Structure formats: C-alpha cells, structure tokens
Structure 1
Amino acid sequence: MVENRPWLSVLTHVTLFLGLVIVLFPVWIAFVASTYPSTTFASGVVPLLPGSHLLENYSQVLSAGAVRNGLPPVGPMLINSLVMALGIALGKMAISLISAFAIVYFRFPFRMVAFWIIFLTLMLPVEVRIVPTYQVIADLNMLNSYAGLTIPLIASATATFLYRQFFLTVPDELAEAARIDGAGPFKFLKDIAIPLSRTSSAALFVILFIYGWNQYLWPLLVTTDPNYYTVVMGIQRVAQATDQEPLWNLVMAVAVLAILPPVIVVVAMQKLFVRGLVESEK
C-alpha cells in the first residue's frame, strides 16, 4: 500500500523524470547531431538544438547513402531489417507454439526429455554455434539470401518454454469439452489455444521483433552482397572512414532511422504488450 504523502509523490515524479532524461538524452543528442552538416563536429562540440540540414541528411542516407564510406542507400537496408525481424519473430512464434502444444497435449514417449533438450539450448547462444551454423548455411547455398538471414535464428527455447507454461494454465475442462464436441487437436489449437494466447503472443512478438531487428553478428557473416545489408550493419559501415573524419551527422541519421521501427512496434502494441506480461485471457 502506497502512503498518501505529498513529498513522497513529488520524490517519485522527480525520480521518474530524471530517469526519463537519462534514457532519452543520448537519443536527443543523436537526433540533433543528424540535423547538422559534418563540419559542425570538427570542433568536438555538439549543439543541443536541431539544425537546418535535417531533410538533406536524411534524404541523403535514405536514397544515396555515403559513397565515401562505402554505405549503400539506407532505404533498402530498412526493408531488409524489417523482413529479417518479421521472419525471425513470426518463425520463432510458429515453431515454438506448435512444439509447446505438442509437448503439453500429446502423450508421446520421451516428450519431457525432448522439452528439456530444447530448454538446454538456452545455454548455447548464437556466438557459440556460429561456425557450424555458418558452414551449414554455406553448404546449402543460402548465403546472401533472406532465408540465410532468418532460418538459422528462428528456433527459440525461450518462446517454447513460455508457450508451454501458458498452455499448462489452460483448464483441462476446455480440452475435454472440445474433445466431446468432436474437435480435433488442430481445431482446438486454432479455435481455442491460439485465441487464448493472443496477449502473450503479442508480448512475445514485440520482444522477438526487437531481437531480430538488432541482430548484427549473424548478418555480418552471411551477407557480402550490399542488397542484403541490414540497417544495423549500416551504422557500422557509415562510421568507417579511411584517413578522414567519419561523417558523424550521417552516422547519427542512420542510428535514428534504425531505432524508429522498434519504437513504432512497441508504441503500437503497448497495451497488448503490457497485458501479455501481467495477465492472461482465460
């Protein structure tokens, strides 16, 4: 129970405001830096108010890139990142949903052994298995392709575990009633299990979309064709400069563009995201 004390309310709001400033100030600096010409930063001083080159800088990185730094146009990179993030998020959810449903509702031999083997893969991050995974993708001729960007990352022990825990909370009476009405396993999954997991799936989608969008190491390895570069790779490439100062205004413009889609997804799905974390529709 929160006590009704005015000074405590003021302290809470001040703390919240300070935390908000600490989080948003670097983003604001990045945005301000993206609105000035590159010569502004030769002195090492970053202004605090936006400049007059906003449209010029953003149109340049979106349509032309930075030839001096070897950066292709960022517009196609945003599309590549969107395809990769959606493919990873939807693929992880589909595979995890089906595998968790099978583990909970089907009585086959060694089903719990299979679940714990899946769960133990949490101890094997991408960096540990990246060499054999790359070898498999190369042998299948999937380098420089959307399939190579997404398929190796769509297996998810975390999503399987979360869906399993959700299905375990669904009352057994629902499954019995569906069986009495003649509903098979897939009809039960489509008409009952999936609708009940709507908020949980929304929260999981937001997390997995951001995970896929922020991938850097794997796209860096499997793509050598600029047509498949992602925007996170673009930030690193535009910051590279040989024997000259980096174009920090364009670096910041690419960084700001890179954070917009995840922010839009979080804002658009905020209510479902919060409900999916704190409650379930049963």
Structure 2
Amino acid sequence: MDGMVEKRGAGFLLTHLSLLVGVLVICFPVYIAFVAASHTHAEILSTPMPLLPGPLFFDNIGRALFHGTQVPVWLMLFNSLVMALGITIGKIVISLTSAYAIVYFRFPLRMFFFWMIFMTLMLPVEVRIVPTFEVVASLGMLNSYSGLIFPLIASATATFLFRQVFLTIPDEMVEAARIDGAGPVRFFFDILIPMSRTNIAALFVILFIYGWNQYLWPMLVTTRPEFNTVIMGLNHMIPRSDDYGDWPLVMSTAILAMLPPLVVVVLMQRLFVKGLVESEK
C-alpha cells in the first residue's frame, strides 16, 4: 500500500510539473510581449533586453489605441469584433436551421443535400478563394462588413454537430410536443435551442476565435485602412527589411489583440467545457 501511495504521489508530482512547464512555455512569449509593451523602443533594442516590466505600459497602450499607425487600434479592434461576431452568429444560426431541417423534415434529396454540405469540409477558404472573391466583387461588397462576414458564415462542421445533437433527442419528446400543440417553430425555439445551449456555447467560443484570427480573407476584400482588422494591422506594423519599427506599439497591439478572445473564453468557460464533455439529453 505504501508503495502504491508513493507511486501515485510521484505520478501526481510529475503530472503537475509537466503542466507547469507547459504553462511556462506557452506564457513566456506573452510575458515578453507585456514587458516589451512597457518600455521605450531604445530599451527594447538594447542588449540584453529588459526582462522586467517598465513604467510605460499604459502610455504605450493608449498610444496604440488612439493613434496607431495608419488607423487607431480601437477601430481595428472594432472591425475584428464585428467580423468575429458576425461570422459566429451567422454560422450558428445557419447551422441550427439547416440541421433542424435535415433531421425533422422529410423532403426529396434530403440526405443528398446533407452530404453536399458535409463535402464542403474538403474545400477550405484557400481553395475556393478566387471564385468567392469574384462573387463578392461583383456584388459590390469589397471594403464592407458584409464582404468580410457573409462569405464565411456557412459551416459544415457546425451543421454536422447540431445534426448529431438533434438525433439524440428521443422521438417521444417530439410526439409530446406535437400533442401539446407545439408547431415546428415553437418546438425549435422552446425545446431544441434550450437543449442545445451548451453546444451552442462551445461552438460560439471556437467560431469566435476562428473569426477573430482571420487574416487572408480580410486582406483580400479590404483595401481601405479603415476596414483593417487587428490581425491585419498587427502584420502591417511589423518592421520590414532594415526598418526598426516601433516595437512598443507592436507589442501593445498584440496584447490588445489577445484580450477579446481571452475574455470570451473566460466568460464562457463553464458552458464551453459542458458543451464538449456532457450531453444534457
């Protein structure tokens, strides 16, 4: 018994030591960005670079937020937020309704359409980007929020996940709702959506981060700086060739760019975990 306890204690210690090392490896670049955002440009370029925070963090954050380079960072954050929320809400709404139609309605070629949707998983944005750009340009949606959002709001993955969730709902519940006089719309809003809230929350977190981190598509459909997302703006701030750039501004922008996804994950952590590991059916 003592040997088992010692063995378990050693495993417990090793597990937590591995987790601690992993956290340090992941968080160290974030800490360096925080340190760089709190010093002057000359101090960052000095050898060795300071490893302790300086007194200029809030000054550099304010300079990035309200001045930036081409446009202030607050505007780029707003553009990223609009795009991320638009993509997230659009994907969830379209996926919920399409999965509902596939599971609960009988119409010709129903499964054919489902598998056609599912096959789009093999066609990422990079593969279909030329025809998609041509359609967006012909509709006059360049340099607009609609051009940033609408081409990315369809999601085969979310449709498939919601379909699997709806298939686990017992037929008896559907019959009970029908006996109570609930029509298709009421059944959808009063029963299916409340039962899918944890799955919706989990997808919301994943899709928000997906929309927030978009770079290639916004770079193609926006040519005016006032429509730049923060990821695009951050890339433009990074110095090229022999240019020293403004590293305190770059790192301050990087810190600001990490905050909204972090806030979403922290606020929705409980529902996010439940949506991944539980089935409240």
Q: TM-score band, normalised by the shorter chain?
A: over 0.9
Alignment partner of 1:63 is 2:66: yes
SS in 2 for 1:170: coil
Alignment of 1:210-249 (within 5 A): 210-241=209-240, 243-249=242-248
Deviation at 1:243, TM superposition (A): 4.9
Deviation at 1:101, TM superposition (A): 0.4
Q: Which residue does 1:176 correspond to in 2?
A: 175
Alignment partner of 1:148 is 2:147: yes
Q: Which residue does 1:40 correspond to in 2?
A: 43
Q: Which residue does 1:22 correspond to in 2?
A: 25
SS in 1 for 2:147: helix
**Aligned-partner residue type, residue 156 of structure 1:** S
Task: In structure 1, list runs of 5 or more residues that go unmatched.
Answer: none
User: How far apart, in 2, do the equivalents of 1:236 and 1:44 lie?
Assistant: 25
SS in 2 for 1:126: coil
Question: C-alpha offsets along residues 160-188 of structure 1, whole Å, 9 cap, x if unaligned?
Answer: 00000000011111111111112111110
Deviation at 1:244, TM superposition (A): 2.5
Q: Which residue does 1:13 correspond to in 2?
A: 16
User: How far apart, in 2, do the equivalents of 1:13 and 1:243 lie?
Assistant: 44
**Aligned-partner residue type, residue 201 of structure 1:** I
Q: Which residue does 1:190 correspond to in 2?
A: 189
SS in 2 for 1:36: coil
User: How far apart, in 2, do the equivalents of 1:107 and 1:144 lie?
Assistant: 41
**Aligned-partner residue type, residue 256 of structure 2:** L
Aligned residues with identical type, % of pairs: 62
Question: C-alpha offsets along residues 104-137 of structure 1, whole Å, 9 cap, x if unaligned?
Answer: 0001111111000000000000001111111111
Deviation at 1:41, TM superposition (A): 2.7
Of 44, 54, 59, the residue aligned with 2:57 is 54
Q: Which residue does 1:200 correspond to in 2?
A: 199
Deviation at 1:242, TM superposition (A): 6.8
CA contact (8 A) 1:96 1:160 kept: yes
Question: C-alpha offsets along residues 2-30 of structure 1, whole Å, 9 cap, x if unaligned?
Answer: x7522221111111111111111111111
TM-score (norm: length of structure 1): 0.95
**Aligned-partner residue type, residue 31 of structure 1:** F
RMSD of aligned alpha carbons: 1.2
**Aligned-partner residue type, residue 255 of structure 1:** A
User: How far apart, in 1, do the equivalents of 2:45 and 2:20 lie?
Assistant: 33
Q: Which residue does 2:80 correspond to in 1?
A: 81
Cα gap change, 1:182 to 1:32, in 2 (>3 Å): same
User: How far apart, in 2, do the equivalents of 1:27 and 1:78 lie?
Assistant: 19
CA contact (8 A) 2:79 2:228 kept: yes
| Count of residue pairs brought into register by the alignment | 276
TM-score (norm: length of structure 2): 0.95
CA contact (8 A) 1:72 1:226 kept: yes
User: How far apart, in 2, do the equivalents of 1:84 and 1:62 lie?
Assistant: 19
Question: C-alpha offsets along residues 204-229 of structure 1, whole Å, 9 cap, x if unaligned?
Answer: 00000000000000011111112211
SS in 2 for 1:178: helix
**Aligned-partner residue type, residue 62 of structure 1:** L
User: How far apart, in 2, do the equivalents of 1:243 and 1:18 lie?
Assistant: 36
**Aligned-partner residue type, residue 52 of structure 1:** P
